[in-house]
Amino acid sequence: MLSRAAAAAGEVVGGGRGAGMTHAWLFTGPPGSGREDAARAFAAALLCPDGGCGHCEQCHQVLIGSHPDLEAVRPQGLSYSVKQTRELILRAAGAPTQGRWRVILFEDADRATESAANALLKAIEEPPPRTVWLLCAPAPDDLMITIRSRCRLVTLTTPGTEAVAHVLATRDNVPWETARFAARAAQGHIARARALALDEEVRRRREAVLAIPRALTGVGECVAAAERLVKTAEEEAAAATAALNESETSELRKLYGEGSTGKGLNRGLVRGGAGALKELEDRQKSRATRIKRDSLDAALLELVSFYRDVLAMQLGAPVELANDDVRFDLDQLAKSSTPEETLRRIDAIMQCRERLAASVNPQIAVEAMMLSLRS
Ligand SMILES: [Zn+2]
């Protein structure tokens, strides 16, 4: 990856000493295709004196995220606020401290609010001469056309099962059979495949999701299944955010002198501290909501893959089954229902995803979905 990015960087940077450099790049690809990894490798290629050798101090700093000329940002909560974006644009305008470029890696650019996107547009319309923006989003259409048209597009595709399995086996030393299973189940999503291969808890959660279809035998079972799914997402979000919240909060308290003797603190500072703490809590709440939503969405996509497999069996489509390990369940459902019913079920899940994205109460949305999956 690094060498391909280096070639691309060489193509645009080479010779012209930066003249004609494209200042805004857009990396697109489905979830798991490695948008951020590709953008980061490209950043290394821009900042490394050797065009992205992958071994030097510069490359190393970029890859671990400590390079002073690279700023990688992601939304603090559900979306990029205009405030977060404006602060970033100010920082982006600074001159590079070491290399030729100051690189801003803007992850999940599709999560910018409209006003944040407008601020971003202004920044990439008139970029400081040494600043390069690397935006990442699932698809070009996820961004305003005015932003999109100013970016050079880098399109990534989903890698095949064999390729993902190969990465797991060679890079992470995963046994070949496990690597194949994880790659197949993750359907080309590398990070997901890696988690499935290495984390037993992730495998257990997947099994629980795939057990849902056969458990939906009555209304009570549907309600219970919905409750379990929502609760699991909540627990996941809580686990992911707890440690992070705690260290952020204690850091902020320290900054405002709390926990020290308090000598010399004036009332204004104490008031400022309370305001900042409230702001931090709001941000943390919004982040927890986002993680919970993402986790629920991942479970729903897992369910879609189950019914997609059922449909493939019903139609005799010559495709690889993502959930070959639960072939018995797939087979049962494929024989006892029609392709139309399967399509209707997939529709119900997609509708549930849309409702969740529109902030419908999760329990209500998931319950309605479970009932449609049953009948
Ligand atoms: Zn290097």
Who surrounds ion ligand 1 at CB < 5 A? 48, 50, 53, 56, 59
pLDDT at residue 101, as a whole number: 93
- Report the candidate in 180, 181, 162, 134 with the shortest Cα–Cα distance to residue 36: 134
Residues 167, 243, single domain; the answer is no
Whether the pLDDT of residue 89 is over 50: the answer is yes
Q: How many domains does the chain have?
A: 3
264-298 as b/e, with b when 16 or more CB fall inside 10 Å? eeeeeeeeebeeeeeebeebbeebbebbbbebbbb
Question: How far, in Å, is the centroid of ligand 1 from the Cα of 64?
Answer: 13
Instruction: Tell me what pLDDT residue 159 has.
Output: 86
Q: How far apart (Å, rounded) are the C-alpha atoms in residues 53 and 185?
A: 33
State residue 302's pLDDT score: 92
Span of 12-26, 175-189, 327-341 with lowest mean pLDDT? 12-26
- Domain residue limits at 166: 161-198
Residue 360 Cα to ligand 1 midpoint, Å, equals: 47
Residue 276 lies in a domain: no
CA angle 199, 201, 202 (to 5 degrees): 70
User: What pTM was estimated for this model as a whole?
Assistant: 0.70
Can you give the pLDDT at residue 247? 76
The DSSP code for 80 is B
Q: Alpha-carbon distance 5 to 77, whole Å?
A: 30
For ligand 1, the distance from its centroid to the CA atom of residue 45, given in whole angstroms, is: 7
- Using DSSP's 3-state secondary structure scheme, residue 27 falls into strand
145: domain CATH number? 3.40.50.300
pLDDT tens, 263-300? 444 555 666 777 778 887 887 887 788 888 888 998 99
**Cα of 98 from ligand 1 centre, angstroms:** 13
**Mean pLDDT for the chain overall:** 86
**Dist. CA 99 → ligand 1 center (Å):** 12
Cα(6) to centroid(ligand 1), Å: 10
The verdict on 186 and 57 lying in the same domain is: no
**Whether residue 27 sits in one domain with residue 87:** yes
**What CATH number corresponds to the domain at position 226?**
1.20.272
Q: For residue 331, what are its two tokens?
A: 């087979």
54 CA distance to ligand 1 middle (Å): 5
**154 Cα to the center of ligand 1, angstroms:** 22
pLDDT at 184: 94
Q: How far is the CA of 138 from the centre of ligand 1 (A)?
A: 28
Instruction: Note whether 237 and 342 are same-domain residues.
Output: yes
Residue 252 has pLDDT above 90, yes or no: no
Residue with tokens 């030393």: 173
Whole-number Å distance, alpha carbon 62 to ligand 1 midpoint, is 9
- How far, in Å, is the centroid of ligand 1 from the Cα of 70? 14
Position 267 scores a pLDDT of 55
